[in-house]
Amino acid sequence: MQGGFLNEKAENYFESLEKRKNIEVIKLGKNIGVSAGRNLLLQKAKSSLTVVLDNDVYFTGDWLNPASGILEKNMDVGFVGFPRHKFNGKFENLGGRNLEVNKNILFVTTLKYRWDKEFIEVNDLCGVILLRQEAKKDLAFDPQFAMAFSDLDKGLQLLRSKWKKVVCLRSRVIHDQVKDTDYLDYNLLRVNYPEFSRSYSKFRRKWELRLPWKEHFKYSYVYPLITPQIYKMLHKLKDMIIR
């Protein structure tokens, strides 16, 4: 497992996991970055099942067993994702999506959810991923990408792998312990807009793909100009217009 939001709750959770004989927790004493940490986990974990867990995710009840059960019953499924809920309990997204390439343009489609199903087949997963040992060779994370394009890079790898990917609707995780009133400052700490633009440029060179025009224009020409000061000013202006 990789990550765990660094507060007392997460530390207590990891301590409880370490006491269980069938679970190995891999932790580092320093932050080497999300993608590098994911790669280290994939290299070191020797168990039949591995969880790649982002550091802004919390755990709910019996979240792991339904997903591991899907892997046990479906040998052609290599990766399982999880629906994500906000810290206030509201549904956020399914933790999975579909990617389609058409004339060198990458289209990303979010999913409609149906809770009456056991799982939904997708071709990309994000957030928390449970994978079987045999599928690890099909997945790598590039530390040179910013968050969004690390996810898209991983998604294209999953799309081209032989394994089926599913979202387990009978499990869920909680994403981000952040109040709405604190979200502006939180975003300033975790989102570097010029870095997103640089990553998009690298992504285009690597895959020879671009996003649709609206996203392409935003990442290519708008994001390089957004400094923290401009970001704050835009949000204050937006709040004034809403009021």
Q: Using a cut of 0.85, tell me whether the model's pTM lies above it.
A: no
User: Using one digit for the tens of pLDDT, what is the confidence trace for 110-154?
Assistant: 988 778 889 999 999 988 999 999 999 999 999 999 888 999 999
Residue with token string 């440029």: 201
E-strand stretches of 23-127: 49-53, 57-59, 77-81, 84-86, 91-93, 96-102, 105-110, 119-122, 124-125
Q: Provide the pLDDT confidence category of residue 28 given band limits of 50, 70 and 90.
A: confident
Lowest mean pLDDT of 33-42, 54-63, 121-130, 205-214, name the range: 54-63
Instruction: Please give the pLDDT value at position 2.
Output: 37
Pure H helices in 96-221: 147-160, 183-190, 193-207, 213-217
Q: Report the alpha-carbon distance of residue 241 to residue 20 in Å, rounded.
A: 53
Averaged pLDDT for residues 157-178:
88
Instruction: Please give the pLDDT value at position 20.
Output: 78
Given a cut of 90, whether residue 1 has pLDDT beyond it is: no
User: Which uninterrupted H or E stretch holds 234?
Assistant: helix 228-242
Greater model confidence, 109 or 5: 109
Structure tokens at 132: 């079987």
Averaged pLDDT for residues 208-228:
94
Given a cut of 50, whether residue 5 has pLDDT beyond it is: no
Greater model confidence, 18 or 158: 158
Given a cut of 70, whether residue 21 has pLDDT beyond it is: yes
Instruction: Please give the pLDDT value at position 68.
Output: 94
> CATH code for 8-175?
3.90.550.10
Q: Provide the pLDDT confidence category of residue 212 given band limits of 50, 70 and 90.
A: very high
Instruction: Please give the pLDDT value at position 74.
Output: 96
* Average pLDDT value for the chain: 85
Q: Report the alpha-carbon distance of residue 203 to residue 105 in Å, rounded.
A: 12
Instruction: Please give the pLDDT value at position 89.
Output: 80
Give the residue from 148, 126, 142 showing the smallest Cα distance to 219.
Answer: 148
Number of other CB atoms surrounding residue 125 within 10 Å: 25
User: Using one digit for the tens of pLDDT, what is the confidence trace for 171-208?
Assistant: 988 887 555 555 566 666 667 889 999 999 999 999 99
What are the domain boundaries of the chain?
Answer: 8-175, 180-242
